C-alpha cells in the first residue's frame, strides 16, 4: 500500500519520570532494553511502521517527559494526539506514580478532549503477582473509562506487545470504519 493511503497515528505516552515510558517504546519498536536510566528532556518521538490487515499504519510515539519542569511544554506536545498511553510503575518504591495517573489523565483530556487511553502498569517484573492490587487498578480503569489496563515489563517484554497492540488496533478500527 502506498504512503498516501497509510493510516497515521500520533500516540502520546505520558506518566511520571522514570516509570519506563522510553523503555517501553524502545522495547516495542526496536525489541531492545537499556538498563541505565536516561531522563527524557521535553519530548522525543519514535516512528514505527506496522501492517494491519494489509494496511500500512504509521505510528508516531510521543514520549513526553514526566518531570514537573517540562509541564509548560506539554500542551504543545499533546497537539494532534489520536490516543494516549498513561504509564505508572509497579516498583515498590514508586507508588506515587500510580497516585498521579488521574492528574495525567485530566491533563491530556483538558487539551485533547476524549481520546482512547490505555493504562500500562510497568515494571511488573519487580513485584510478586500477589502484591499487585488489581481491583484498585481495575476500579480506576472503569471510573476513568480507559480502554484497558496492561501489566508490562520493558525489561522482560512481558505484556508489551499486547499492550501496544490494544491501542493501535483500537485506532485502526476506529479510523478504518470512519
Q: What is the mean pLDDT of residues 134-143?
A: 96
Question: How many independent structural domains does the chain possess?
Answer: 1
Q: Are 19 and 109 in contact (CB under 8 A)?
A: no
Q: What is the pLDDT of residues 58-111, one digit of tens each?
A: 999 999 888 888 888 888 999 999 999 999 999 998 989 999 999 999 999 999
**Domain span at 18:** 3-176
> 64: alpha, beta or left, given left = phi > 0 and alpha = psi -120 to 50?
beta
Lowest mean pLDDT among 44-48, 111-115, 154-158: 44-48
Residue 159's CATH number: 3.40.50.300
Q: How crowded is residue 31: how many other Cβ atoms within 10 Å of its Cβ? A: 10
Q: Are 10 and 116 in contact (CB under 8 A)?
A: no
* Upper half-sphere CA count for residue 6 (Cβ side, 13 Å): 14
Q: What does the pLDDT read at residue 150?
A: 98
The 8 Å CB, 24+ separation contacts for 99-105 are 100/15, 100/16, 101/15, 101/140, 101/144, 102/140, 102/144, 104/14, 104/15, 105/144
Q: What does the pLDDT read at residue 69?
A: 84
Examine the pLDDT at 118 and tell me if it is beyond 60.
yes
Rg value, the chain, Cα:
16
End-to-end CA distance of the chain: 19
Q: Are 12 and 62 in contact (CB under 8 A)?
A: yes
Rounded distance between C-alpha atoms, residue 169 and residue 173, angstroms: 6
**pLDDT tier for residue 173 given thresholds of 50, 70 and 90:** very high
Q: What does the pLDDT read at residue 3?
A: 57
Amino acid at each position: 500500500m502506498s504512503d498516501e493511503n497509510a493510516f497515521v497515528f500520533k500516540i502520546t505516552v505520558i506518566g511520571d519520570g522514570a516509570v519506563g515510558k522510553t523503555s517501553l517504546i524502545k522495547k516495542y519498536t526496536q525489541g531492545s532494553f537499556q538498563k541505565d536510566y536516561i531522563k527524557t528532556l521535553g519530548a522525543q518521538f519514535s516512528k514505527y511502521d506496522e501492517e494491519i490487515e494489509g494496511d500500512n499504519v504509521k505510528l508516531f510515539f510521543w514520549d513526553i517527559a514526566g518531570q514537573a519542569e517540562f509541564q509548560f511544554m506539554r500542551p504543545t506536545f499533546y497537539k494532534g494526539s489520536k490516543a494516549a498511553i498513561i504509564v505508572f510503575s509497579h516498583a515498590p518504591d514508586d507508588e506515587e506514580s500510580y497516585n498521579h495517573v488521574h492528574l495525567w489523565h485530566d491533563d491530556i483530556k483538558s487539551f485533547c478532549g476524549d481520546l482512547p487511553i490505555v493504562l500500562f502498569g510497568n515494571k511488573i517484573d519487580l513485584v510478586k503477582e500477589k502484591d499487585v492490587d488489581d481491583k484498585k487498578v481495575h476500579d480506576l480503569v472503569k471510573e476513568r473509562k480507559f480502554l484497558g489496563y496492561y501489566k508490562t515489563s520493558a525489561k522482560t517484554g512481558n505484556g508489551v506487545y499486547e499492550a501496544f497492540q490494544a491501542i493501535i488496533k483500537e485506532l485502526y478500527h476506529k479510523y478504518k470504519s470512519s
